[in-house]
Amino acid sequence: MLEKMRAATQGLIGRAIMGVVMGLIILSFAIWGIGDIFRGFGADKLAKVGGEEITVEAFRSAYQNQLQRLQQQLRRNITNEEARQFGLDRQILSRLVSEAALDQQARALDLAISDQEIAKAIMNDPALKGPTGHFDRARFDEILRNNGLSEKGFVREQRAVYLRQEITDALTHGLQLPKAMLEAIHRFQSESRSVDYVVLPATAGGVVPAPSPEALQRYFDDRAQSYSTHEYRGLVVLTVAPADIAKPGTVSDADAQKRYEEVKSARFGAPEKRAVEQVLFPDEAQAAAARAKLTAGANFDDILKDRNLTQKDVDLGVVTRDALIDKAVAEAAFALPEGQVSAPVKAQFGTVLLRVAKVIPSSVKPFSEVKDDLKREIAQQRAKEEIARLHDAIEDQRASGKTLAEAAKSAGLEARAVPAIDMAGSDPQGVSVADLPNLQPLLKAAFASDIGVDNDTLRIGDGGYQWFEITKVDKARQKSFDEVKDEVEKAWRDDEATKLLAAKADELTKRIDAGESLAAIAAAEGKLTVKRADGVKRSGDPELLAKGFTPPIIVQIFNVGLHRGGSARMDDGGRILFQVAAAEVPAFDANASGLVAIAGEIKSGFIDDVIAQYLAKLQNQLGVKINMRAFAAAAGASPSDY
């Protein structure tokens, strides 16, 4: 969980708008353990961390922002109750407490970061880069707008985020794992074994005697809950979606051409791009001197050499005008002819000279390439208008007392009858009911309803609607012993055969450990064939899996010592009886790729532990107090919920 959080907050935007930048790592130790509830808070104060207060409004804003992002990710509404079940309220409060503690520590340490460093980080943030791989101003503005952030507010948040990160980075820089741990990891990952084995069939344990009626009854009574039916419901369903009624063939070429002319620049056009190079100078005088040198006959590479720069240092890539964050630079770069160098340009962070190495003109896809897509789009749009009419017509019919099937027929549609379906979407034979749109939301609503209920219309993707009625309810019930007697007897026999075979395998394993050869045991047990499996590793292998070496069997192979015996159940009911013939561990190499990857994951856990301990100590020193009444009210709950 912490590794995912760290990955999600690598970019500036991630760090600024992730709802759980530090929150999740606090949950295990923080405010609920060291804070206390006290009286005397102002009405707008929710918590106090040292000398810094967290307001109710700050919590509500952070909570709502994170709730909105979760809803966007899940593409559905999330109630406050669901959010509390997820722990969202505690996560947000923990994050705010964590940030407040680190902010105070940053001030105590006199940490600072310059405007130039913040601006540089923004331009290099992967989350803000467009398709060209460079900073995309339009994307930057869109993300800020979607998250209710101003540019100044975003920069202010970034300054705080970086100062917090300076503290946590200082804590964990240079952390190394013990060599003994790496060697243990290497052995676990790399050890391979060779085993000799035989397969004992399910019948090898002996004949299972016939069960007595009393034994079967006891077996059934102990597992009665396993012998029950599902609840099934009969439904009438009517689904109307744009794709179902759209008719692209009725859209004329003229209509498609008209739409093409309206949107071609924005949707089917590629804007002009330029390969731009930029040399930054400390002041305007040095930039002017360099420009004069170019006028006198020097070339651009001479300027780079004078400033000890390489082509890589000045290359801004192939960019659009909007991708250049500095408007003055964008205007100058897109006014230059190809191959030319600009006059000195006053940019946000100094004075620059620009060179346009290449110009890629704008282009537009021809109508013939996009005609079919446009016709489908227009047909879908017209279908949405038709769906609105159908919706009103069906609702009017339902309001007049007609059944859903009758309402559908009056609108020229046909409802679908589903005789029986359970909560998993299967019929009584266990077969999934096919081609039922919006299945999970439909089933959730249907199993919360009943016969005769006027159900709310469900909205589906792309502006469609779905109606349903409950025609029948078959409640779940426990089956009687007589109904499942044959099934119970089969299950009893299978269990008894498994017990007999396990006991047989244990006996044979003891004989192997006592020194008897596997070959002799195999011959005595019915001339079973002894086989060899080499290269068995804990990570498994497709070829071994095809031979029946499932993960539980492999685990058991590594649970016994060299030359020792063991057994494990196979998926078909038989057992594998084996003896470890050899074990090999390659020489330890700390730089092996697999070991490095695993060590990295474990090191991340160590880092998380260090940060967690530091934050716990810091919060303990500062003191954390929570106004639980205000916290519960801000989260839409009551104090008793906590």
What pLDDT band is residue 41 in, cutting at 50, 70 and 90?
low
Mean pLDDT is lowest, of 58-67, 210-219, 470-479, 491-500, for 58-67
pLDDT at residue 7 greater than cutoff 50: no
Burial of 559 (0-12, 13-18, 19+ CB in 10 A): exposed
pLDDT of residue 13: 36
Nearest to 446 by CA among 418, 477, 413, 409: 418
Cα separation, 108 vs 252, in Å, equals: 71
Q: Using DSSP, state whether 102 is helix, strand or coil.
A: helix
- pLDDT for 376: 85
Average pLDDT over residues 307-321: 88
pLDDT value of residue 338 = 93
| Nearest-angstrom CA–CA distance, 537 and 340 | 62
Pick the residue with more confidence: 165 or 196?
196
Mean pLDDT of all residues in 321-328: 87
Cβ atoms 315, 309 nearer than 8 A: no
Nearest alpha carbon to residue 91 among 65, 72, 73, 71: 65
What is the per-residue pLDDT for 5? 37
Of 186 and 510, the structure prediction assigns the larger pLDDT to 510
Q: What is the mean pLDDT of residues 552-576?
A: 95
pLDDT of residue 19: 36
Q: How far apart are CA 132 and CA 139, in angstroms?
A: 12
8 A C-beta contact, residue 470 and residue 233: yes
Picking from 138-142, 285-289, 326-330, which range would have the lowest pLDDT averaged per residue? 138-142
Q: Which two tokens stand for residue 308?
A: 């000890």
pLDDT, residue 11, reads 43
Mean pLDDT, residues 578-588: 94
What pLDDT does residue 43 have?
62
Q: What are the backbone angles phi and psi of residue 393, rounded to the nearest 5°? A: -65, -45
Residue that is written with structure tokens 């474990």 in the block: 602
- Average pLDDT value for residue range 410-414: 90
Cα distances (angstroms) measured from residue 220 to each of 24, 316, 487, 488, 498: 46, 75, 10, 6, 18
pLDDT band at 34 (very low <50, low <70, confident <90, very high): very low
SS3 427: coil
Q: What local confidence, expressed as pLDDT, does residue 143 receive? A: 81
The CATH number assigned to the domain with range 272-361 reads 3.10.50.40
Domain limits of the chain? 2-174+603-641, 192-227+484-584, 232-247+373-474, 272-361
What are the backbone angles phi and psi of residue 256, rounded to the nearest 5°?
-65, -40
**H-state helical runs in 270-411:** 284-295, 300-306, 311-314, 327-333, 367-399, 404-410
Q: Which of 616, 637, 634, 641 is nearest to 47 (CA)?
A: 634
Residue 202 or 79, more confident: 202
Please report which confidence band the pLDDT of residue 39 belongs to, taking 50, 70 and 90 as the band edges. Answer: very low
Q: Note the residue count of the chain.
A: 642
Mean predicted confidence (pLDDT) in 572-590: 93
Question: Coil, strand, or helix at residue 357?
Answer: strand
- Check pLDDT > 60 for residue 264: yes
pLDDT reading at 488 higher than 90: yes
Fold of 2-174+603-641: Triger factor/SurA peptide-binding fold (1.10.4030)
Single-letter residue type at 494? D
Q: How far is CA 452 from the centre of its chain?
A: 40
Give 49's strand partners: 52, 624
Q: Give the model's pLDDT for residue 249.
A: 85
Name the average pLDDT for the chain. 86
Question: For tokens 């934050």, what's the residue?
Answer: 615
**Which residue, 205, 206, 224, is CA-closest to 216?**
224
- Residue 8 is predicted with a pLDDT of 38
- Higher pLDDT residue, 449 or 5? 449
* Rounded Cα–Cα distance for residues 532 and 579 (Å): 10
Among 147-151, 241-245, 632-636, which stretch is predicted with the lowest mean pLDDT?
Answer: 147-151
pLDDT at residue 188 tops 60: yes
391 touches 306 (CB < 8 A) = no
For 431-440, how does the pLDDT look when each residue is reduced to its tens digit (9 = 90+)?
Answer: 999 999 999 9
pLDDT tens digit sequence for 618-633: 999 999 999 988 888 8
User: Higher pLDDT residue, 73 or 253?
Assistant: 253
CA 328 to chain centre: 40
* Per-residue CA distances from 612 to 607, 615, 619 (Å): 8, 5, 11
Q: Which one, of 485, 256, 244, lies nearest residue 384 by Cα?
A: 244
Nearest to 23 by CA among 5, 7, 37: 5
The answer to whether 182 and 559 are in contact (CB under 8 A) is no
The predicted pLDDT at position 28 comes to 37
Q: What is the pLDDT of residue 30?
A: 41
Per residue in 128-166, pLDDT (tens digit) is 887 777 888 888 888 888 777 788 888 888 888 889 989
Both tokens of residue 577?
């009886």
pLDDT tens digits, residue range 357-406? 999 998 888 999 899 989 888 887 888 778 888 899 999 999 999 999 99
Q: Which residue in 36, 37, 34, 8 sits closest to 22, CA to CA?
A: 8
Task: Report pLDDT for 343.
Answer: 94
Question: In which residue are the tokens 């004989």 written?
Answer: 511
Contact yes or no for 555/578 (Cβ under 8 A): no
Tell me the angle at which helices 593-622 and 179-190 cross, rounded to the nearest 10 degrees. Answer: 130
| pTM for this predicted structure | 0.49
Question: 1 pLDDT exceeds 50?
Answer: no
| pLDDT at residue 382, rounded to an integer | 84
DSSP 8-state class, residue 556: H
562, 583 Cβ separation under 8 angstroms: yes
Amino acid identity at 430? G
2-174+603-641 and 272-361 share one fold: no
- ∠ Cα 63 69 72 (to 5°): 140
Predicted local distance difference test score (pLDDT) of residue 27: 39
pLDDT, tens digit, 9 for 90 and up, residues 497-546: 999 999 999 999 999 999 999 999 999 998 899 999 999 999 888 888 88
Please tell me the distance from the alpha carbon of residue 489 to that of residue 495, in angstroms, as a whole number. Answer: 10
**DSSP letter assigned to residue 341:** B
| Crossing angle for the helix pair 151-172 and 88-108, to the nearest 10 degrees | 80
Q: What is the mean pLDDT of residues 283-311?
A: 90
d(CA 209, CA 493): 9
CB distance 625 to 45 below 8 Å: no
129 DSSP 8-state letter: B
Q: Is 148 left (phi over 0), alpha (psi -120 to 50) or beta?
A: left
Tell me the DSSP string of 191-244: -EEEEEEEEE-GGGG-PPPPPPHHHHHHHHHHTGGGSBPPPEEEEEEEEE-HHH
Q: What is the CA radius of gyration of the chain?
A: 35
CA dist., res. 80 & res. 227, Å (int): 37
The highest-confidence range among 42-46, 173-177, 581-585, by mean pLDDT, is: 581-585
Give per-residue pLDDT as tens, 592-604.
877 888 888 888 8
State the pLDDT at residue 24: 39
